Structure 1
Amino acid sequence: MLTKLRIKNFKCFEDTGEMEIRPLTVFLGPNSSGKSSIMQFLLALRQTVESPDIQVAFAPNDSWVRLGSYPDFIFRHEWQRELEAMLEFTEHLPAPVRSSRRPNKLRLKVRWRYNKKTTQIRLEESELVYNDGEFSQLLMRKAGRYEATLKIASEDGKEWRHEALPVHFHGFAVRIKKGEKPSDLRQKMSRHPMVFMVGEIVASELRRLFYLGPLREYPQRSYVISGQALSDVGVRGERSAEVLWFASRTKRQQQRMLESVNRWVKELGIAREVKLQRLGKSNQYQVLFVDATTNLPVNIADVGFGASQLLPIIVQGFYAPPGSVLLIEQPEIHLHPKAQATLGDLLMEVVKGGDRQIIVETHSEHLLARIQRRIAEQRFSHEQVAIYYFEPTPDGTKIHRIELDEYGQLAEPIPEGFFEEGLEEALAHMKAVGERKAKEVSVASEGMDN
C-alpha cells in the first residue's frame, strides 16, 4: 500500500511536500491546480516498470498517460532541473520481505536528469530503504555506468556493507553484472534473499495502480465476448461490461463482486440490478439495467447517461485486486447531488476492508459532506481519510492538508477558496433578497404617501 508521496519539479509543483496517503485520499481545488498531475506522475512510474525497454529510466508516454517531453512536464519548463520523488509503501509487502518488526516499510527515493543533447531522461540516483535501515540499496550513476551500494543491518546492531558493485537496472530493479559477484556477497544473498528483490517489490506495488478518468466511455447496445480475464475496467471504463461478464461466469469470489455491484446500483438509485444477457447463440451479449420502478429490463444504452457513467466506478472498486490503489478523477460528473453524496458512501465502503486505497479528485461538496457525516456518525474513521487542497500561486501550486477531527469537522485554518463559493452565493442571495424587499417596501410606502 502507498502511504507517503513527495514529488519535486513536476509540472506545476516545485515541491509537493511530503503527503500522507491514507485509505481514502481526497484532492480538492480549482481547475488546472495540479490535482490530476499527481495521478499522472504515479501512472508514469507504472509505465516505467512495465516498459519492455530495459534502457528506459522514466517513461512519460505510453498507454496510461502521455506527458510529452521532459521540458514539457518539468517545473517551469526548466530542463536543467532534476525530477525527484519519494514514495513509501507498507503492509502489503510480499512474504519474502516481511519482517517480525512493525511496521513493514519500503521507501524509494529517486532522482532523474535530462540530457538535452540526446533528449534522454537518465536515472541519476535511486535509493531503496527497508524498515528504516534494516536493509538498503543505493544505485548511483558514475562515469556512465551504474553502481550499487548494499547495506544489511544484523540483529546485534552490526552492519554489512558492499560498495561500488557494477549492476544493470530496469525500472527500479537491479542485477549484478555477470562475473561481478564477490564471494562474501553470495554468502549474504543466501541469508538475505530480499537483497535484490526490493526493486521488484516496488514494481509490483506500482503495477497495482489503476486509473479511471473523468471522461468515461459511452455505453454500447451490445458487447463481444472476448474470453479475456482483465485486470481492470480501462482508463475510460471501456472494459466494465467485459469484467462483469467474466465475473458472472467464474469463481465464487467474483460472484460476490457482482453481488456488491448490484447492491450499489440499487443504493445509488440507478437500477434494481444489473443483468447480462447473451444474444441468442452469438458471441455477443447486452447489459441490462432492471428499472427500480417498473421492474422492466432496459439496455444500458437507453438509460440516463449518469447511470452508465457510474457503473465503471462501482465495478472497478470491487474488482480491483488486494493492495490496489485506485486513482479516480471527478467521479461525480453527470450525477445529481444526492447521487454525489451516496458516491461518498461507495468510496468509503471500498476502502473499509483495508486492502484497497482510493485517491480521488473531486469538485463535489456533497461527496465531502457525506464523508464528514459518516465520521460524525462513527461509521467511518477520520484516521482513514486525508484531504488536500491545491492552491495555485505565482510560485507554483501549494498543497494544504485539511484536517478532519473525530467528529468530521474541518480543523482550522481553512485555506482561502476552500469550497467558499456555496457560502458566497448564499450570502449574495440573502443580500439580494434584503435589498429587493427594502426597495419594495420603499415603493409601497411612496405609493401610500401619494
Structure 2
Amino acid sequence: MIKLLHLQNLKAWRDSGPVRLAPVSMLLGTNSSGKSTLLQSLLLLKQTAAAPDRTVHLNLGGDEANDFFHFGGFDAVLSHGVAAPRQFSITLEFERPEGERVRHARFACSYGQTASGAVVVQELSLSTVARRFRVVRRERGAYAVWVDGEAQPRGKGPQYAPERSIAFSAEALALLGADGAHLQDLSLALRRELEAIVYLGPLRRQPARDQVWSKSAPGALGSDGNQVLEALLANALLKSDTQGATLASVSHWLQRMGMADQMGVRQVGRSSRYEVVVHKDGVVANLRDVGVGVAQVLPVLAMAFWAPAGSTALVEEPEIHLHPLAQAVLAEMFSQVSQQRQVQFIVETHSEHLFRRMQTLIAQRKTSPQQCQMLFVERRGADAVLVPLEVDAFGTVRNWPPRFFGDAMGEAREQARARAQRMREEK
C-alpha cells in the first residue's frame, strides 16, 4: 500500500508536502485544482517502470497503446516559473507484505534536463528504516553511488546511471557486493508496488452489445474500462475456484444502488458471441439497452473485485452519470472492499453524496478517519495547495473549507429572500 506521496515542482504542485494516504483516500476540490496530477505522478512512475528500454530515466508517454498518460516535454511537467535548479521530484513511501513480515520502504527521485533536452535522473534514493542507497548525477553524465551515511561514494562513472527511475544498474549492484542483493530486493519491491497500481479514468467507453469470448481472462480492464466485458465473461465462463464471484459482487452492488436486480451473461443464439444482460423488475435487457449509468459504473465495480488483493486502484470520477443514492453507495463499496480485499483506493471525486456517506460510515464505526483520508485540493494563484480535512470519530469535519460544495446555505437564504419578495409583490 502507498502510504505517502510528495511532489515538488511538478505541474501545479510547487510543493505538495507529505501527502498521507490511507486504505481509502478521497481527493476533493474544484476543477483544474491539481487533484489529477497526484494520480498522474504515480502513473508516470508505473509507465516508466514498464518501459521496454531499461536505460530510460523517465517515460513521459506518447505510446497510446502502452502508456497511461502523455505528459509532453520536460517544460510541460516542470512547475511554471521554477528557476535554477530546474528540477522536479517525486517521493513515495510504501509497505508490502513479504512472507510473515511487512517491508516499509521509501523512494525519492529528482529529475533534470540535459543540454540536448533529455530528462535525466539527478538523484535516486531507495531506503528502508535501516538502510539508504543513493545514486547522484555528477558532471558529464557520470553518477556516484552512496551507501548509508558513508563519507565517500563507493564508485563513480557513467556505468552507474540508474534504470527506469527505480533501479540501480547491474554495474552498481556488482560494485556494492553483499549490499547489492539487499538493494536489488528493495528495487523489486518498488517495482511490484508500481505494477500493483490499476487505473480507471474519468471517461469510460460504452460497452459493445455483444462480443466473441476469447476464452481467456484479460490482464487489465483498461483505463477506459474497454476490457470489462471480457473480464466478466471470463469470470462467468472459466472454470475456477472464483468462477462467478466477480459477477455476483457486481450484481450485489448494482442492487444496493437500485440500478439492477442481477447481472449475467448469455450466449447469443448458437454463435460464439456472448452478451452481458441486466435483470431489473422482471425484465432482462442487454447492457446497451439500460441507462448509461449502469455501463459507466460497471468498470468501477468490476475493478474493485477484479484487481488482485494488495492492488492500489486509482479512480477518477466514479460517480459519473449516477443518481445521488448510487453515488452514496459507492462510499460503502470502497470502504468494504478496502477492508475485505486489502485493495487501496485513491479516488478523485466531485460527489458530495459520496463524501457525505463516508462521513456517515465513520460515525457508524464502519470505517474510521485512519482508514479513510479526506484531502481537499485548491488553487492559490498558480499553485495547488492540499488541505487534509480533520475528521473526528463522529465524521464531523473540523476545518471545513469555505464554499467546499458550493454555498448551500447561501442558496437557501436567496430562495427565502426571493419568496418573501414575491409574496410582498403579490399582495
2:106 counterpart of 1:112: no
**1:6 partner letter:** H
Distance 2:216 2:143 in 1: 40
SS state of the match for residue 408, structure 1?
Answer: coil
Residue 125 of structure 2 aligns with which residue? 127
Displacement, 1:10?
Answer: 1.1
**1:225 partner letter:** W
Matched residue pairs, number? 417
Distance 2:17 2:341 in 1: 25
Residue 389 of structure 1 aligns with which residue? 376
SS state of the match for residue 70, structure 2?
Answer: coil
Displacement, 1:38?
Answer: 1.1
Distance 1:160 1:279 in 2: 71
Contact kept, 8 Å, 1:151 with 1:161, in 2: the verdict is: no
Residue 447 of structure 1 aligns with which residue? none
Which runs of structure 2 are paired with 1:2-401 in the superposition (5 Å)? Answer: 2-61=2-61, 62=63, 63-76=67-80, 78=82, 81-90=86-95, 92-95=96-99, 104-115=103-114, 117-130=115-128, 132=129, 134-143=130-139, 144-151=141-148, 163-164=154-155, 167-171=160-164, 172-177=166-171, 181=174, 185-186=176-177, 188-189=178-179, 193-248=181-236, 249-291=238-280, 293=281, 295-353=282-340, 355-401=342-388
The verdict on how the C-alpha distance between 1:88 and 1:250 changes in structure 2, with shifts beyond 3 A counting, is: farther
Residue 155 of structure 1 aligns with which residue? none
Distance 1:253 1:200 in 2: 29
Q: 1:158-202, CA deviations, whole angstroms, 9 ceiling, x for partnerless residues? A: x99972265353221123329x946xx53x35xx84232211211
Distance 2:243 2:60 in 1: 34
Contact kept, 8 Å, 2:265 with 2:275, in 1: the verdict is: yes
Share of identical aligned residues, percent? 29
The verdict on how the C-alpha distance between 1:250 and 1:126 changes in structure 2, with shifts beyond 3 A counting, is: farther
Contact kept, 8 Å, 2:9 with 2:82, in 1: the verdict is: no
Displacement, 1:436?
Answer: 2.3
Distance 1:347 1:427 in 2: 35
Displacement, 1:73?
Answer: 2.0
Residue 422 of structure 2 aligns with which residue? 436
Q: Which runs of 5 or more residues in structure 1 are unaligned?
A: 153-158, 445-450
TM-score under structure 1 length normalisation: 0.87
**2:9 partner letter:** N
Q: Which runs of 5 or more residues in structure 2 are unaligned?
A: none
Distance 2:106 2:243 in 1: 33
Contact kept, 8 Å, 1:93 with 1:201, in 2: the verdict is: no
The root-mean-square deviation of aligned C-alpha atoms, in Å, is 2.3
SS state of the match for residue 5, structure 1?
Answer: strand
**2:261 partner letter:** R
Distance 1:300 1:59 in 2: 37
Distance 1:50 1:7 in 2: 21
Displacement, 1:420?
Answer: 3.3
The verdict on how the C-alpha distance between 1:15 and 1:160 changes in structure 2, with shifts beyond 3 A counting, is: closer
SS state of the match for residue 397, structure 1?
Answer: strand
The verdict on how the C-alpha distance between 1:41 and 1:195 changes in structure 2, with shifts beyond 3 A counting, is: closer
Distance 1:122 1:304 in 2: 48
**1:174 partner letter:** F
SS state of the match for residue 76, structure 1?
Answer: coil
SS state of the match for residue 420, structure 1?
Answer: coil
**1:121 partner letter:** V
TM-score under structure 2 length normalisation: 0.92
Distance 2:41 2:21 in 1: 15
Contact kept, 8 Å, 1:60 with 1:69, in 2: the verdict is: yes
Distance 1:176 1:209 in 2: 26
**1:257 partner letter:** T
The verdict on how the C-alpha distance between 1:196 and 1:429 changes in structure 2, with shifts beyond 3 A counting, is: same
Distance 1:326 1:79 in 2: 35
Contact kept, 8 Å, 1:405 with 1:411, in 2: the verdict is: yes
SS state of the match for residue 143, structure 2?
Answer: strand
Q: Which has the larger radius of gyration?
A: 1
Displacement, 1:93?
Answer: 4.0
Distance 2:301 2:10 in 1: 31
Which runs of structure 2 are paired with 1:410-425 in the superposition (5 Å)? Answer: 410-412=397-399, 414-425=400-411
Distance 1:51 1:335 in 2: 36
Displacement, 1:254?
Answer: 4.8
The verdict on how the C-alpha distance between 1:168 and 1:397 changes in structure 2, with shifts beyond 3 A counting, is: closer
